[in-house]
Amino acid sequence: MTTPTVSEKERDLKTFRDYFFSMSRLASLPWNFVEEKLVGSKSSEVISQILNETCFHRLCSEFPPSVRYRRLFLSELIKREEASGLDPSDHLYDALAQVIGAAETTLCYKSYFLPGGGAVTLQENVAVISEGTTGLVTWEAALFLAEWALDNQQYFNNRAVLELGSGVGLTGITVCSSCRPSEFIFSDCHPRVLHKLRENIALNKLDRQAVRVEELDWSSVTEERLAAVRADTVIAADVVYDPVVVETLVSLLRRIVASSRADVFVCSAVRNPDTYRGFTEQLEAGGIRLEVLSDPVTRIFPCNTDSHIELIKLHQKIPQ
């Protein structure tokens, strides 16, 4: 057994923090590290260190992950501690006391740590689909698009950016926090999503001058409205999931590409290849050339999907 170096240990503790606050799959946490440290040191020190990065982190008192997630997380720590022959530590009991008996709620907070320090904190729903919408949770393509934006700030810095189907706001809030757009227009069509988006923007204390939230329904947005936005960059994450809705989305994207010089990017987790193929075929049939951006991005957020994520840039086809 090798003793982890300080940097390996710091990295593992940071992984616990990042996964815990984004409520990522518990199975993907580096439990081997905990087991090795417990057995190697014959003390519960590592448990206390993990708790300081999670349940006792300052963010957890104000913006905690769901009660259920914290309970399951603590159960995993207890299991590891018991398996190594140690009694559960007082620190662990203190953390448990905060969640035992606490009522489960339909809302929770998730925090996504940024490389420059700080975090984007969002209030999200615990259910993937709720109140008739998919827009009350953060989807994987939103995380990927935010990471890509951090690596490609030239498309956002000092530009007016329009986001379609913003959901709870992860991509846009990350861009506003880190890429200095001149203006950022969040948009969605669902009243509950728009309400939550406004709350999340306030939670992250974004500069109100430069940020707008607009109700923009792909199926009914007018030419005048689109022209008034005058975006330099248009982005959308995880908006290709329903074949019925895809048609109105394609029609809107075609109008944007045809009538503006904006750089347009769509990022999708390809969960249903038929639906995604239908989307790209409709775009191509509508005179749009797709550029697949395949450069790897610097991954900073925990990844919870096995689906392929594809980011495309849309161009007007030049007639031959």
Ligand X SMILES: C[S@@+](CC[C@H](N)C(=O)[O-])C[C@H]1O[C@@H](n2cnc3c(N)ncnc32)[C@H](O)[C@@H]1O
Q: Which residues bind ligand X (CB under 6 A)?
A: 133-135, 138-139, 141-142, 165-167, 170, 188-190, 193, 217-219, 237-239, 241, 245, 248
Determine the Cα–Cα distance for residues 287 and 254; give it in Å rounded to an integer. 8
Please identify, using beta-carbon distances, which residue of 12 and 147 lies nearer to ligand X: 147
Least distance CB 315 / ligand X (angstroms): 22
Q: Where are the alpha helices (DSSP H) in the chain?
A: 6-21, 31-41, 45-53, 58-62, 67-83, 90-99, 140-151, 170-178, 191-203, 223-229, 243-259, 273-285
Distance between CA atoms of 48 and 160, rounded to whole angstroms? 45
DSSP 67-122: HHHHHHHHHHHHHHHHHTTPPPPHHHHHHHHHHTTPPP-SEEEEEEE-TTS-EEEE
Q: How far apart are CA 61 and CA 111, in angstroms?
A: 13
What's the min distance (Å) between Cβ of 158 and ligand X?
23
Q: Which is nearer to ligand X, 91 or 190 (CB)?
A: 190
Q: Which is nearer to ligand X, 44 or 138 (CB)?
A: 138
Residue 98 or 248 with smaller CB distance to ligand X: 248
Smallest gap from Cβ 118 to ligand X, in A, equals: 20
- Choice between 119 and 193, CB closer to ligand X: 193
CA atoms within 13 A on the CB side of 158: 1
- Which residue's CB is nearer to ligand X, number 142 or number 312? 142
Q: How far is the CB of 81 from ligand X (least distance, A)?
A: 36
Terminal CA-CA length for the chain: 65
Report in angstroms how near the CB of residue 99 gets to ligand X at its nearest: 27
Closer Cβ to ligand X, 141 or 297, answer by number: 141
Residue 134 C-beta: closest distance to ligand X, Å: 4
CB of 77 to ligand X, least distance (A): 29
131: left (phi over 0), alpha (psi -120 to 50) or beta: left
Q: d(Cα 141, Cα 171) in Å, to the nearest integer?
A: 9
Tokens of 191: 């009243």
